[in-house]
């Protein structure tokens, strides 16, 4: 069983990403969308949290449309995080058994 976790709350404001990562298992994917996309950038206060989770086998993706809307360049995303579009979002949902939304 693999799960796609979607997080849409800012990791600088809420604990949604921390809660998500506390239960995300190896092989799971965390997709950052909406207000959460800032967590995908390099050199932030949460970058080590994301990197640590990646080291434990959790994959990360971020929605490119939401990055662009906020003026954040895909080039500044942490190495290893894939930037996906809406079609990629759908594909991720199809590739996993379940989708958990961390509202």
Nearest to 30 by CA among 63, 4, 1, 65: 4
Sketch the per residue contact string, 7 through 36, with another protein: x for CB under 8 A, - otherwise: -x-x-xx--------------------xx-
> In the structure encoding, which two tokens stand for residue 31, read together?
């997709």
Measured N-to-C along each axis, helices 16-23 and 47-55 cross at an angle, to the nearest 10 degrees, of: 10
Among 29, 30, 38, 60, binds another protein (CB under 8 A): 38
Choose which of 3, 44, 49, 82 interacts with another protein (CB under 8 A).
44
* DSSP conformation class of 77: B
Candidate list 25, 27, 70, 95; residue touching another protein; CB under 8 A: 70
């Amino acid at each position: 069983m693999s799960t796609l976790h979607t997080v849409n709350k800012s990791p600088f404001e809420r604990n949604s990403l921390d809660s998500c990562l506390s239960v995300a298992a190896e092989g799971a994917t965390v997709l950052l969308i909406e207000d959460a996309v800032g967590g995908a950038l390099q050199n932030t206060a949460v970058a080590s949290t994301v990197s640590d989770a990646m080291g434990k086998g959790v994959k990360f993706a971020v929605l490119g449309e939401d990055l662009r809307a906020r003026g954040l360049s895909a080039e500044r995303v942490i190495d290893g995080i894939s930037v996906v579009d809406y079609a990629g979002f759908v594909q991720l949902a199809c590739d996993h058994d379940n989708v958990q939304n961390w509202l």
